[in-house]
Amino acid sequence: MLSPDKITFEPFKIKMVEPIPALDPLLPQALLHREKVLEAAKYNLFKVPAKDVTIDLLTDSGTSAMSQEQWSAMMLGDESYAQTVSFDRFVDAIHKVTGDKLLIIPTHQGRAAENILFQVLNDLANQYSAKTGRPLRRRVLINSFFDTTAANVMLHGKLIEDDYARRDELLGKDNASLALRQGTERLDQELKKASLIGRNQLVVDQTRPDLFEHGIFGGSIKLDKLEQILSDPQKRSEVMLVMITATNNTGGGLPVSLANMRAIRQMIDHYTTNDMTMYDGLPPLMFFLDACRFAENAYFIQQHEPDQRGRSVSEIAHDMFALVDGCIMSAKKDGLANIGGFLATRFPELERLSWEYMVEIEGFYTYGGLAGRDLEAIAIGMLEGVDDRRVKQRVEQVRQLWGWLNENGVPVKEPCGGHGVFLKGRAFWTGPDGKVLVQPEHLPGHLLAVELYRGYSVRSCEIGTIMFGDYDTKKKIVTKVAPDEDYVRLAIPRRVYSESHLRYVASGLIELHGQRLKANWKGMQFTYRPDSLPHFLSHFKPIPK
């Protein structure tokens, strides 16, 4: 038994309970039922009814348990159309948490904030290009794109009709002529690439955790790569935004160090001092934070950056926000709310331009697609989000699950991040002799997620080739697999599951891993795949052995 001082217990007790659906998942009839459920859901776990899931680790987004303070605050929701007290309380709470008087635009969730930001920046880039005759500023430099962020960049980054006429100039002559030679379809692909995706992910080398700063900051940006771009006036002039996602969701939920954020800020300031701005009232180049897991990131900084020990999560969060020109935030994560988000900026001009677009898609700028009661729940949730004991227990709970799996030989991404455990799908389906049991193009991560659900009624999510690969719809084959690995994320909802729930998950996975040589299937294949955000909507079928 551990000594009492080694035990991190939940900083809450439970007043209201929700029955676990699909209890007794190991009965033979439950297994048969799940097989039918999977078939009906076309083997996409997003289509599996929640009532047929025992432990749901699909996402940590919008799945938190709210506190009594949040529920009671909801009764005070001001449901007037405009300029509500709830909006004022929402803004006050965000000011307290960020330590700054940022201008706040509520949105119904994180991706709506992304949508607004990239619509506005893209408009500005177009105007700038038309005015100056310079190439469009379309590159976003980021540690890693989350898929909705990439999708929103793409959505607005696609070349507009007028740009077709200028494609030689925009793409560079060689690319444009190549694209033309290869036909219209190919041209479209080239034009898509000419927007922003892919080349600008500057996260540190994920295959070398031994080189992560202090052994943990695997979400940081490679500063030398960033400097190569920013120090070159031509390359710099193509950049629309520098962004950090903290923690880095697609890379195991690993954090970004405060030192890294400081260096990025200094580099931007240093190289852009004399640059022309895209718009009056804005700096030449902005630095934004995707803040949805900022409190977990701040906890890692507190624990691992030597000069930050002893400071509170809240103080460190203030320093993180002080370094950026604005942020987008999905309040469904560290905001402990079931819905909501916001866009924040220091610049009244950006706020004004965002309002113009947001009233068309989200609603008036004091409610942003949310009810007054949602704003109240987020306001309290943001404040609870930075409570040191809450963050500590949450991150340590994730690490406990990681430890059980790691000790028992289940391949996991190292080190452990903040919001979930990332299983390595390809390594999982490898025999003790190193034999590959599931080829990467047969979606090993997804097969693992399907088998974990089929056998144990635990729902997870592939973060691999489905999300980041390429697919030829005509030939019906995977043409590019995800780099490095096919991860399966066990995302842990906040304040929802106890240690024994997670023990069950670990023991199911350890058993499944032990039986991997006897797997029923050779892998999974797509039967339908949409172009955008394929993990939500694709259909699959198993490949028989």
Contact residues toward ligand F0G (CB under 6 A) are: 59, 61, 109-111, 146, 148-149, 245, 249, 290, 292, 330, 332, 341
Nearer to ligand F0G, 245 or 397 (CB): 245
**Nearest distance from residue 61's CB to ligand F0G, in Å?**
4
**CB atoms near residue 30 (< 10 Å):** 17
Nearer to ligand F0G, 244 or 286 (CB): 244
Nearer to ligand F0G, 110 or 542 (CB): 110
Per the structure block, which two tokens stand in for 247? 């923690």
Task: Give the whole-angstrom CA distance, residue 62 versus residue 494.
Answer: 9
Nearer to ligand F0G, 216 or 291 (CB): 291
HEC string for 307-369: HHCCCCHHHHHHHHHHCCCEEEEECCCCCCCCCCEEEEECCHHHHHHHHHHHHHHCCCCCCCC
**CB atoms near residue 55 (< 10 Å):** 25
**Nearest distance from residue 374's CB to ligand F0G, in Å?**
13
**Nearest distance from residue 60's CB to ligand F0G, in Å?**
7
Plot region of 530 (φ>0 → left; ψ -120 to 50 → alpha; else → beta) = beta
**Contacts for 268 with CB less than 8 Å, ≥ 6 apart:** 230, 242, 285, 287
Answer whether 463's CB lies under 8 Å from 506's CB: no
**Nearest distance from residue 399's CB to ligand F0G, in Å?**
19
Nearer to ligand F0G, 341 or 411 (CB): 341
Plot region of 253 (φ>0 → left; ψ -120 to 50 → alpha; else → beta) = left
**Nearest distance from residue 135's CB to ligand F0G, in Å?**
28
**Nearest distance from residue 298's CB to ligand F0G, in Å?**
15
Q: Which of 435, 536, 540, 446 has its CA nearest to residue 485?
A: 446
Q: Go through 505-543 and write b for each residue having 16 or more CB atoms within 10 A of its CB, e for each that does not.
A: bbebbeebbeebeebeebbbbbeebeeeebbeebebebe
Q: Is the peptide bond before 21 cis (omega within 30 degrees of 0)?
A: no
Nearer to ligand F0G, 167 or 333 (CB): 333
3-state helix, strand, coil in the chain (%, to 5): 50, 15, 40
Closest residue to ligand F0G, judged by C-beta, is: 110
Q: Is the dihedral of CA 123, 124, 125, 127 positive or negative?
A: positive
Task: Give the whole-angstrom CA distance, residue 421 versus residue 399.
Answer: 8
Alpha-carbon dihedral angle through residues 346, 350, 356, 357, given to the nearest 10 degrees: -100
Nearer to ligand F0G, 109 or 538 (CB): 109
Q: Which of 53, 93, 104 has its CA nearest to residue 69?
A: 93
Answer whether 239's CB lies under 8 Å from 276's CB: no
CB-based burial of residue 36 (10 Å sphere; 0-12 exposed, 13-18 middle, 19+ buried)? exposed
**Strand 477-480 and strand 470-472: pairing?**
antiparallel
**Nearest distance from residue 59's CB to ligand F0G, in Å?**
3
**Nearest distance from residue 58's CB to ligand F0G, in Å?**
7
Nearer to ligand F0G, 194 or 324 (CB): 324
**Nearest distance from residue 408's CB to ligand F0G, in Å?**
26
Alpha-carbon dihedral angle through residues 101, 103, 105, 110, given to the nearest 10 degrees: -70
**Nearest distance from residue 57's CB to ligand F0G, in Å?**
10
Nearer to ligand F0G, 146 or 347 (CB): 146
Nearer to ligand F0G, 109 or 366 (CB): 109
Task: Give the whole-angstrom CA distance, residue 248 versus residue 244.
Answer: 8
Nearer to ligand F0G, 236 or 332 (CB): 332
Q: Is the peptide bond before 247 cis (omega within 30 degrees of 0)?
A: yes
Nearer to ligand F0G, 220 or 272 (CB): 220
Q: Look at residue 301 and give its three-state secondary structure.
A: helix
**Nearest distance from residue 480's CB to ligand F0G, in Å?**
22
